[in-house]
Homo-oligomer: A and B are copies of this chain.
Amino acid sequence: MAEQATATTDAPVRALAWTGDSLHLLDQRRLPAEEAWIRADSAAEVAAAIRDMVVRGAPAIGIAAAYGIALAARRGDDLAAATAALAAARPTAVNLAWALARLQRCVDAGAGPDAIVAEAQAIHAEDVDINRRIGAAGAALLPGAGAVMTHCNTGALATGGHGTALGVVRSAWAADRLDEVWAGETRPWLQGARLTAWELQREGIPVRLFVEGAAAWLMQRGSVQAVIVGADRVAANGDVANKIGTCGLAMLAREHGIPFIVAAPVSTVDVATADGASIPVEQRPADEVLACAGQAIAPAGVAAWNPVFDITPARFVDALVTERGVIRDPGPDAIAGLVDTPAAAP
């Protein structure tokens, strides 16, 4: 991967850019201190960038993987090997498998490199459109004033653009239906502090950070009118895999009578996965918990547990917002209907 510094600009926030013969990825590990871009010229380089968390966020991972196949097709590389490498890069997000399956259908239909590139670009463009629909549907669901709490980063940086849960925040802010955002810092990777605060600050949307431990106290004080998060996978029964910390927020929101909303594209729904217990939850090295911002914070040799995701039982989800609208209290029937339903006309 080639690395190149790019000066801060007033351009919209974006995680990736396709140049026609390479994929440029904003190195999210280095935000907010630095806006550095990495160039990937092959599927293997894209897979490494996904694995190493240069790019993260389920929809953005899916788009990056699609461009990875496009690069392999352009280079004449083995497409089956490229697909296998990309599929293995991260285990939990279903969008990755979804994007690769869509490209595979294109390949199976005999598409050449140009058509494969076009398919990847279509996935990217559709994602932005999908997020704007999610944003509009979700914004209408918010109380219309007050503050929302969010977790991790589900914004432009996590998607093709606009964002899922943070897309709802953007749309609600644009519609003057929101006063403030409470962003959890999201240890151990600090996506809330590093990425969400950066995106929102850049767009002038008022944001306040808090440590995860403060979530319940914020709710108890009446400071939060809704909790909105993204999803890495939604099972057939409505269980939701998302960033570690999500299921606790869902339970605390229920305890306080605060709506808990999940915003995600239909591609995140995996009807082949019966329930949350069937979702593989990625474990990452203990070192990520034993350090913070590159500094050791615990005694050497101490053990730590570092699951990347947790499973929120469907009964704690008050609403699932997709590009096809809002499902209240999502359960198996509504989830099945969602996947079978064709998209409504714009």
Contacts and interface: CB of A to CB of B under 8 A. Distances in A.
Given A251-B251, A255-B251, A292-B297, A217 B311 contact: yes
A213 B298 contact: no
Main SS at interface, chain A: mixed
Interface in A133-155: 151
Interface string A179-214: 000101111101001100110010000111111111
Interface stretch (A85-93, A106-114, A240-248): A240-248
A243 B217 CA distance: 11
Contacts of A245: 211-214, 216
A96 interface: no
A304 B213 contact: no
Contacts of A295: 292-295
Interface residues of A, number: 58
A268 to B, nearest CB: 19
Contacts of A244: 211, 213-214, 217
B216 A251 contact: yes
Contacts of A182: 305
Interface in A225-255: 243-245, 247-248, 251-252, 255
A302 B205 CA distance: 11
Contacts of A301: 201
Closest 8 A/B residue pairs (Cβ): A213-B245, A216-B248, A293-B295, A217-B310, A292-B292, A187-B211, A209-B304, A193-B298
